[in-house]
Structure 1
């Protein structure tokens, strides 16, 4: 490889790493990966000893709907990081809803799809940017009312402050 190619690849990797750090990337990836088995296994044709078993029934239609929504939620985690809590809860609810579908309820789907979907949704709910996490040993920022939010006031002084504002 030439130096110019290495620079382009290095720049691409750095740009992707920066993009990935600004959103719940792994949550979206796990959610999208969890949608695959939910859509695939109800329509899979299993062949054993010349006998083909096909489970393409009307009961499998909701699994396509749920998997399409999980893919959309996973992409939303990547491209709309501001709605990560709503999308994460939606991914958890849809993954749990797919548990009751008769076409999806088998061991492989449970182990792969449900764990990926649940972990992806939980990661999306718990994700935060590195800028919003306070560094160890740093002081909390003050709010406009003078309270630092860190519990520097005692309980009695807070209750007396509330009592004095209620009596006015």
Structure 2
């Protein structure tokens, strides 16, 4: 079976294209925040079962953070809902999981949720200030050339 005559993309270029179509950094930071909080939990599962619901919540909330981060990466169309739930759960880990993984996991989750919420698909790439100034100078120069030519 012959492949169509398309230029073959490298894995790095393919990953870059995949990453550009979703709130990659937001989902990654939210998942990393949940992972960090899970790593800071020291109790074994037997101890958690003896402690009760407060101990289970210490593992449940960061696990949900990791799942939400992955959902943002692989289902970006629902990113608004996932990011709102992500910020609420990130803030909830402050009470249930060692101050949100000693504030590091909490901050990673909060920043990741905010980045995901603010991500806009199909947005024109930003033009640097230097390019905008260069374009403005070129346009002003063209206008001046046109004004001299008609006079």
TM-score by length of structure 2 reads 0.67
Aligned positions of 1:9-158 closer than 5 A: 11-43=10-42, 56=48, 57-58=51-52, 59-101=54-96, 104-106=97-99, 109-129=101-121, 131-133=122-124
CA distance in 1, matches of 2:43, 2:61: 17
- Contact kept in structure 1, 2:33 and 2:105, CA below 8 Å: yes
Which has the larger share of strand?
Answer: 1
CA RMSD of aligned residues (A): 2.6
Give the drift of 1:112: 1.3
**In 1: Cα distance, 2:106 partner to 2:33 partner:** 6
Residues 71 and 81 from structure 1, CA distance in 2 versus in 1: closer, same or farther, beyond 3 angstroms?
A: same
Q: Runs of 5+ in structure 1 lacking a partner? A: 1-7, 46-54, 138-168
The offset of 1:133, in angstroms, is 4.0
Aligned length: 117
What is the SS of the residue equivalent to 1:43?
coil
Cα deviation for residue 38 of structure 1 reads 2.1
More helix by share: 2
Q: Secondary structure at the match of 2:123?
A: coil
Residue 42 of structure 1 deviates from its aligned partner by 2.6
Q: CA deviation at 1:134?
A: 7.8
